[in-house]
A and B are shown apart, each in its own frame.
Chain A
Amino acid sequence: MSAVPLNRIKSTYQFLSARVNNVSPSGIRKFFDLLSSVEDVISLGVGEPDFVTPWQIREAAIYSLEKGYTMYTSNYGLPELRQKLAEHLESQYLGYNPNTELLITTGVSEGLDLALRAILNPGDEVIMPDPCYVAYPACTLLAEGKPVTVPTTEQNDFQIKASDIKTRINHRTKAILIGYPSNPTGAIMPRDELAQIADIADEYNLIVISDEIYGRLVYDVDHVCFASLPRMRDRTILLSGFSKAYAMTGWRIGYAAANHQIIEAMTKIHQYTILCAPITAQMAAIEALKSADNEVEAMVRDYDRRRRFMLEGLKDIGLTCFEPKGAFYTFPSIKVTGMTSEKFAERLLLEEKVAVVPGSAFGQCGEGYIRCCYATSLADIEEALKRMGRFVSKYKQKT
């Protein structure tokens, strides 16, 4: 090998594409580096369940390995999985043809990337809420689209308003990208609000990408699947997966459901880049759909208790927080301290050893808020709240 060692090149930046350079690294990652320097941290910064995947799902995956299921599958995913998934979606929301309208992906992350790349031409605009999940603007940019954010506020329970969407539509607008229940806010969208968005999608002929990965994690309300609204089935790319409901984040297994032409386009990218989702994860997903409803319900009940507990606790320590009805996050305001989200999160970590994620990592409208995940033990939530209480009263500004 006689290649020039990298250290002889002054800067490798020159090799990177403008597309990639345009995207800044996730604010969450930046925080992660700081975190690794502090010990004995209680973390409310995670974005995944604290449950392990239910045993029968793990067991089914192990058994599939023993039997020798180690090959590629169809690009679309195992026929049995698509069949089961179609039945599941039909019973929950609406029907899809398992042969032509479903694609098994390596998590919603892949599904999102495929959806955006399948529909966007350079410069096409995608309307999305602010704050929103970190991948929405990033993946839009990587697909050479332009993210157009719609501010959402605590006063409106962080719901995206149809009227606000409307003012941002122009001839370049291609799609609306929503993710409810929301990461980071825990907000949900009621049916009538979604219906107004559906009307706009119809009126302006837009595609709606709906990330419903937290759809099963709702409390006191029913989740409304956007695609199930009248006339929306063929304009919606429904993205979801197994990570959150079945506690299967590390398996990387999700799906996209849409009109067959869209699925075909997404599969074109998928077959060249991923080929197929890992077969072991697909086997596990089949078992999840077959037998894990009780486990999902038990986990949801448990999250709900911790949600209420944390919400009450936040109030007690003097932080205001709207009531999140989905996912496993609270999104309290830290404005009483006068600090920026980032400063708050950094100081809280260093002074009290509690990790939270600054709301600003999810968009400008997240400034003044922090994301606290309650998918952690009750004892840890209690201790974290105690420490946060100490911290808040120390820095609370006199009014």
Chain B
Amino acid sequence: MKQIFEILENNARATSQQISKMTGIPVTEVEKAIKQAEKDKTILKYKTMINWSKLGEEQVWAIVEVKVVPQRNVGFDAIAEHIYRFPQARSVYLVSGTYDLAVLVVGKTMQEIAAFVTEKLAPLETVQGTATYFLLKRYKEDGEILEGEGGVKRLPITP
């Protein structure tokens, strides 16, 4: 069963028929497992990775370190939840080390991100301080290399 998800994680467009052929699990069982996984949120979503820069779309990415004061009973969860509700926050992580939350922010311009940090994030009551790092170049994301030379070609016939 784990195989089904390994295949889907790598290729969301793999059909139940294809997965069945690859794993030897009957189609009906593959479909059942996927349905169940969608229902219980094992499968959160089917997404496509787009390299927007190829379409000429400008995007600005920044990692924002956030230092916060944990709150009684809820620790970091309440403030993390507060922050992740902003659509600008693409990813939010609690991290160990000198700060507490790492927030990945995506916007159209630097001003947009600056406005989000200074007007939304920094003023929050439990936020003690922020540090913003704008990304200069994205090389690899979620295991995919964004720009790189194509693979080396094999000879078409070898022993």
Residues of chain A touching chain B, judged by Cβ–Cβ distance below 8 Å, are 26, 28, 31-32, 35, 41, 43, 45-48, 50, 52, 133-135, 183, 249, 301, 305-306, 308-309, 312-313, 355, 357, 378, 382
9 closest Cβ pairs, A-B complex: A305-B22, A43-B156, A45-B157, A312-B21, A47-B158, A32-B157, A309-B21, A309-B22, A47-B159
Please state if A26 and B156 are interface contacts (CB–CB under 8 Å): no
Residues of A within 8 A of B7 (CB): 305
B151 beta carbon closer than 8 Å to chain A: yes
Q: Smallest CB–CB gap between B24 and chain A, Å?
A: 5
Which has the most chain A C-beta neighbours within 10 Å: B3, B7, B152, B159?
B159
Q: Smallest CB–CB gap between B18 and chain A, Å?
A: 7
Residues of A within 8 A of B21 (CB): 308-309, 312-313
Q: Which residue of B lies closest to A357 (CB)?
A: B157
Please state if B159 and A28 are interface contacts (CB–CB under 8 Å): yes
B42 beta carbon closer than 8 Å to chain A: no
B interface bracket (residues with beta carbon within 8 Å of A): 10 to 19
Residues of B within 8 A of A45 (CB): 156-158
Residues of A within 8 A of B3 (CB): 301, 305
Please state if A135 and B18 are interface contacts (CB–CB under 8 Å): no
A–B Cβ pairs within 8 angstroms, 22 of them: A32-B156, A32-B157, A35-B157, A43-B156, A43-B157, A45-B157, A46-B155, A46-B156, A46-B157, A47-B158, A135-B159, A249-B158, A301-B6, A305-B3, A305-B7, A305-B23, A313-B21, A355-B157, A357-B157, A378-B11, A378-B22, A382-B18
Which has the most chain A C-beta neighbours within 10 Å: B6, B11, B22, B151?
B22
Q: Which residue of A lies closest to B154 (CB)?
A: A46
Please state if A31 and B157 are interface contacts (CB–CB under 8 Å): yes
Q: Smallest CB–CB gap between A305 and chain B, Å?
A: 4
Q: Smallest CB–CB gap between B1 and chain A, Å?
A: 14
Please state if B158 and A28 are interface contacts (CB–CB under 8 Å): yes
Scan B1-38; emit 1 where CB is below 8 A from any A CB, else 0: 00100110001000000100111100000000000000
The answer for the CA separation of A134 and B159 in the assembled complex, in Å, is 8
Please state if B156 and A41 are interface contacts (CB–CB under 8 Å): yes
Please state if A133 and B159 are interface contacts (CB–CB under 8 Å): yes
Q: Which residue of A lies closest to B25 (CB)?
A: A308
Please state if A50 and B23 are interface contacts (CB–CB under 8 Å): no
Q: Smallest CB–CB gap between B142 and chain A, Å?
A: 17
Residues of A within 8 A of B22 (CB): 305-306, 308-309, 378
Task: Give the residue of B6, B18, B24, B158 whose beta carbon is less than 8 angstroms from that of A48.
Answer: B158
